[in-house]
Amino acid sequence: MQRLTVLFLILFSLKAFAQISPKDTIRVENFPTDSVSTQQTPSEIEVLADIKESNAPVKTMKYNPTKAGLYSAILPGLGQYYNKKYWKIPIVWGGIGTGVGVTLWNQKQYNRYRDAFVAELNGQQHEFSNIPGVTKEVLGRTQDRVKRQRDYAIAITSLVYILGIVDAVVDAHLYEGRKDPDLALKPTVIFDEFGKTNSKAGLSLSYNF
């Protein structure tokens, strides 16, 4: 009888321990009921404004070609800065700076040979007097050649200056066109319909209207 009682107590203890499990417990927390939420519900006007802003078309930046050309005429490279084509500014400055440098160097050489040529005509000493074979004809041809090189340098520098203005105007005028999905320029493969030549690489210009 005692053994039966002990066995019964052991089984009852195991059953009670099994019922008390951390996984079966329920955690109860007391939250304050008098707190105010800081999150505000947006009004209908704000919701409509957000919807309109989300559905609004994307605004494309436009540049004024007149301003771009005027800026580039006042200061070379300023039109490219206005169009945000910063990588073109060193090219414009490099071309004009090189042209101006070559022009000044040829002008200096022209002045030297011109002074020597005039002195040779007047029978006076000059810096080339002690060089054998230097005559008035040689000095005349040399000064003409240096003068021609100077004029070429001036012409090329002026051309680079004008091209900088034209580039700024064209960039400002075609900026919106580059954002147009109906206008596309992309590489393509050109096939020969008659099969006489192999396929060639080329450019495809597409315009939808």
pLDDT bucket at 112, cuts 50 / 70 / 90: very high
What pLDDT does 20 receive? 47
In a domain, 137, yes or no: yes
Is the predicted pLDDT of residue 68 greater than 70, yes or no? yes
In a domain, 19, yes or no: no
User: Are the C-beta atoms of 139 and 116 separated by less than 8 Å?
Assistant: yes
Which domain covers residue 76, as residue numbers?
65-179
Q: How far apart are CA 173 and CA 166, in angstroms?
A: 10
What pLDDT does 135 receive? 87
Helix (H), strand (E), coil (C) string for 32-72: CCCCCCCCCCCCHHHHHHHHHHHHCCCCCCCCCHHHHHHHH
In a domain, 103, yes or no: yes
Give the whole-number percent of the chain exceeding pLDDT 90.
33
What pLDDT does 124 receive? 86
Instruction: Tell me the whole-structure pTM to 2 decimals.
Output: 0.56
Is the predicted pLDDT of residue 129 greater than 50, yes or no? yes
Q: Please give the residue that has the higher pLDDT: either 166 or 173.
A: 166
In a domain, 88, yes or no: yes
pLDDT bucket at 89, cuts 50 / 70 / 90: very high
In a domain, 6, yes or no: no
Q: Once rounded to an integer, what is the mean pLDDT over residues 162-167?
A: 94
In a domain, 186, yes or no: no
Q: How far apart are CA 162 and CA 168, in angstroms?
A: 10
Q: Once rounded to an integer, what is the mean pLDDT over residues 49-58?
A: 66
Is the predicted pLDDT of residue 17 greater than 70, yes or no? no
Helix (H), strand (E), coil (C) string for 67-92: HHHHHHHHCCCHHHHHCCCHHHHHHH
Count the domains in the chain.
1
Is the predicted pLDDT of residue 1 greater than 60, yes or no? no
Is the predicted pLDDT of residue 99 greater than 80, yes or no? yes
User: Are the C-beta atoms of 78 and 71 separated by less than 8 Å?
Assistant: yes
In a domain, 80, yes or no: yes
What pLDDT does 209 receive? 47
Give the whole-number percent of the chain exceeding pLDDT 70.
58
Is the predicted pLDDT of residue 4 greater than 60, yes or no? no
The listed range with the strongest mean pLDDT (23-32, 119-128, 169-178) is 119-128
What pLDDT does 172 receive? 87
Q: Minimum mean pLDDT among 66-80, 145-159, 184-198: which range?
A: 184-198
In a domain, 55, yes or no: no
What pLDDT does 143 receive? 92
Helix (H, G, I), strand (E, B) or coil at 128: coil
Tell how many helices (H) and how many strands (E) occur in the chain: 6, 2
